[in-house]
Structure 1
Amino acid sequence: MASDAVLKYLVDSNRPYSCADVTVNLRGAYTKTVVQKTLDALSEAGKIKCKLYGKQKVYAAIQLDSVADEGDGEDYDSKLKSLTKDLAEKTNTLKEVETKLKTLTSTPTTDTAKSKIEEIKKRTEGLVKKLDTLRNSTEVVSAEEKKKF
Structure 2
Amino acid sequence: MASDTVLKYLADTNRPYSCADITVNLRGTYSKNAIQKALDALGESGKIRCKLYGKQKVYAALQTDSTEIASDSEDYDSQIVSITNSLDEKKSLLKTAELNLKNLLSAPTNDSAKSQIEEIKNKIVKLENKLIDLRNSTEVVSVNDKKIILNDHDIFFKEYRKRKRICSDMIEAVLEGYPKSKKNFLDELCIETDEMVNFKLASKQ
Interval of TM-score (by shorter of Structure 1 and Structure 2): 0.3 to 0.5
Q: TM-score, normalised on structure 2?
A: 0.32
By relative contact order (CA 8 Å, sep 6+), the higher-ranking structure is 1
